């Protein structure tokens, strides 16, 4: 495959988007030329050396400033007036029914104009966006102006909460193909999209980093320790986890709960730890590198993630890859990975009672039994989330899309030739 693929993400690289970095790296190992593009940068938050290195390879749209956006918009409007007007109408129509409104979508149009020029210079043949939000909107608007065809990966849960507001059905209809990270995600698109669109929706799992897959499993420590790796937001269930920890403390159980991550909810979490008197039981690490996350997982008996809304969390895959059982909830794609009683525990979301029971069992189970569960979890990850295999599926979709696009281009060219021949014949007849 000799084509150039542009990857477009709203923020990239990002601490919580290491799975995208791994996907790109694996595609490049398979000989695919990938160009990285982000709408905005969050470089100041990066802690992992691999992310910092990736930042140097990424072009950031908003880095050109307001003047650059306006110049690009005017340039495309003059150079491609009909295509621009079609994209403008699309932006207005999509923006009208969105939560963000028309003004934001006019900005997305300007961003699409910037990328249209960049992608033409880079000879980009196809664009792949991650998340069905503004990055896919920009890719769709660029395509409407004559830019490259696009595809996108939808993760959830945010996209599934706002299907109509995000014009997700139209994005699917205009895309060459769509990827979901779980069968649950695929089913959610089936709910909204016409059956004629189902054939373009594919499941490609997120992959796990080699530092998790290639490591020889280690013994689970006797120290009673849990780890939770997650962005600090309402959806991840941190506050419920603290309530569960309080009940375990009340039962006289000894343990340590390590929270890795950061976010808007951090102050509230810190206040709750103080109010509940959990300072000796709960420790907040903040964002950590992949290597640090790995060490914290290995130092734990189990990963705990009591989320209220998810797609399919990569951190659960990482914990299982390191042979650590996990505690999570019966939502979205999680049951496709975690089998209760086999490699972990699943509890009803929002149930403190069930969460306390699962954490209590982890603390009371024999280490040997936890290790057996971890080994079964590792086997599931090796089968379902090998990044080389999953990236190979994506590469095949890119190849198929590229070949279909070339065929369509040839057919269009032939149609034009046929029309020109007809004109010549008419002239001869006259």
Same domain, 240 and 359: yes
At 381-417, the pLDDT tens digits run: 999 999 999 999 999 999 998 888 766 655 544 443 4
198: in domain:
yes
CB 404 within 8 A of CB 3: no
Same domain, 22 and 36: yes
- pTM, rounded to two decimals: 0.89
pLDDT at 427 over 50: no
429: in domain:
no
Same domain, 62 and 169: yes
423: in domain:
no
426: in domain:
no
Q: Which domain holds residue 335?
A: 210-384
375: in domain:
yes
Q: What pLDDT, on a 0 to 100 scale, did the predictor assign at position 194?
A: 97
Q: What pLDDT, on a 0 to 100 scale, did the predictor assign at position 410?
A: 55
At 44-97, the pLDDT tens digits run: 888 888 899 999 999 999 999 999 999 999 999 999 999 999 999 999 999 999
Same domain, 167 and 304: no
Same domain, 257 and 402: no
Same domain, 248 and 167: no
Question: What tokens were used for 104?
Answer: 């934001």
At 343-364, the pLDDT tens digits run: 999 999 999 999 999 999 999 9
Same domain, 231 and 134: no
Number of domains the chain contains: 2
Residues 6+ apart with CB under 8 A from 425: none
Question: What tokens were used for 241?
Answer: 């986890």
Q: What are the residues facing 151 on neighbouring strands?
A: 128
At 257-292, the pLDDT tens digits run: 999 999 999 999 999 999 999 999 999 999 998 899
CB 212 within 8 A of CB 18: no
Same domain, 278 and 250: yes
**Inter-axis angle of helices 134-144 and 101-121, nearest 10:** 60
**272 closest CA partner among 348, 281, 310:** 281
131: in domain:
yes
CATH classification at residue 360: 3.40.50.2000
Q: What pLDDT, on a 0 to 100 scale, did the predictor assign at position 425?
A: 35
430: in domain:
no
Longest dimension (CA), the chain: 101
Same domain, 377 and 394: no
428: in domain:
no
The C-alpha atoms of residue 5 and residue 314 are separated, in whole angstroms, by 24
At 87-114, the pLDDT tens digits run: 999 999 999 999 999 999 999 999 999 9
Percentage of the chain modeled with pLDDT above 70: 94
Q: What pLDDT, on a 0 to 100 scale, did the predictor assign at position 411?
A: 57
Same domain, 402 and 298: no
**91 closest CA partner among 107, 75, 77:** 107
The C-alpha atoms of residue 394 and residue 404 are separated, in whole angstroms, by 15
At 2-44, the pLDDT tens digits run: 689 999 999 999 988 889 999 999 999 999 999 999 999 988 8
Same domain, 116 and 150: yes
Same domain, 234 and 314: yes
pLDDT at 180 over 80: yes
CB 322 within 8 A of CB 215: yes
CB 156 within 8 A of CB 310: yes
């Amino acid at each position: 495959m000799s084509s150039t693929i542009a990857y477009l993400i709203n923020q990239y690289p990002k601490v919580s988007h290491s799975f995208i970095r791994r996907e790109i790296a694996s595609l490049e190992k398979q000989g695919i030329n990938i160009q990285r593009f982000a709408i905005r940068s969050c470089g100041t938050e990066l802690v992992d050396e691999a992310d910092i290195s990736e930042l140097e390879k990424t072009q950031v749209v908003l880095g050109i400033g307001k003047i650059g956006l306006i110049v690009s918009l005017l340039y495309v409007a003059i150079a491609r007036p009909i295509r621009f007007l079609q994209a403008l109408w699309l932006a207005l129509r999509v923006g009208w029914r969105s939560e963000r409104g028309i003004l934001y979508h006019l900005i997305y149009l300007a961003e699409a104009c910037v990328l249209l020029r960049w992608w033409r210079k880079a000879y980009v043949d196809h664009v792949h966006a991650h998340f069905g939000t503004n990055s896919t909107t920009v890719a769709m608007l660029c395509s409407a102006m004559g830019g490259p065809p696009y595809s996108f990966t939808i993760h959830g849960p945010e996209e599934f909460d706002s299907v109509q507001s995000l014009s997700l059905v139209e994005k699917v209809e205009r895309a060459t193909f769509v990827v979901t990270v779980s069968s649950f995600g695929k089913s959610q698109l089936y709910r909204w999209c016409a059956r004629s669109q189902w054939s373009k929706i594919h499941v490609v799992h997120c992959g796990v980093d080699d530092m998790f897959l290639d490591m020889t499993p280690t013994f689970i420590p006797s120290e009673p320790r849990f780890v939770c790796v997650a962005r600090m937001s309402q959806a991840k269930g941190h506050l419920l986890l603290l309530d569960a920890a309080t009940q375990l403390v009340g039962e006289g159980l000894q343990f340590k709960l390590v929270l890795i991550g950061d976010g808007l909810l951090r102050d509230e979490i810190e206040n709750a730890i103080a109010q509940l008197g959990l300072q000796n039981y709960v420790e907040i690490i903040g964002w950590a590198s992949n290597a640090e996350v790995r060490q914290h997982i290995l130092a734990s008996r189990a990963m705990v993630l009591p989320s209220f809304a998810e797609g399919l969390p990569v951190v659960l895959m990482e914990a299982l890859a390191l042979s650590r059982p996990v505690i999570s909830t019966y939502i979205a794609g999680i049951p496709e990975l975690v089998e209760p009683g086999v490699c972990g525990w699943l509890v009803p979301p929002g149930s403190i009672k069930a969460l306390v029971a699962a954490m209590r069992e982890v603390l009371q189970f024999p280490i040997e039994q936890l290790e057996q569960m971890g080994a079964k979890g590792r086997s599931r990850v090796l089968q379902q989330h090998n990044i080389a295999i999953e990236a190979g599926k994506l590469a095949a979709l890119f190849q198929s899309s590229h070949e279909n696009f070339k065929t369509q281009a040839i057919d269009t060219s032939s149609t034009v030739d046929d029309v020109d021949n007809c004109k010549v014949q008419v002239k001869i007849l006259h």
